Amino acid sequence: MVLYFYPKDNTSGCTTEAVGFRDIAEKFADNNAVVIGVSKDSVNSHRKFADKYSLPFILLADEDKKAIDLYGVFKEKKMYGKTVMGVKRTTFVIDEYGVIERIYSDVKAAGHAEEVYCSLVKR
């Protein structure tokens, strides 16, 4: 499983990342990998985001931040020169036994999906 946490639906970086996963979703599926995106946006927001960009994978609404807190991705970050608390773009690759194999921190949205895919096929 590829579990990726992202800050907000319909923002430029989050859209770039989601579209990246969408564009190679078949490659992930061909390698028995499920992609799941998580943010604190609502189910309705996720539905609109997924429909707008034809996202073929699950988006989980974590409005109460339980998973976000459990995975430790709500952190201090810089935005427009200010320090704020928010969801830090992070991806976890989890094997079939639930073991985290790899963590991608400080993710750059562009090219990230391909980077994750390449690491999966090299295992």
Instruction: Exactly one of 14, 18, 73, 116 is catalytic; name it.
Output: 14
Backbone angles phi, psi at 22, to 5 degrees: -60, -45
Q: Which residues of 16-50 are buried (b: 16+ CB within 10 A; e: fewer)?
A: ebbebbbeebeebeeeebebbbbbbbeeebbeebb
Is 14 an annotated catalytic residue? yes
Which residues are known to be catalytic? 14
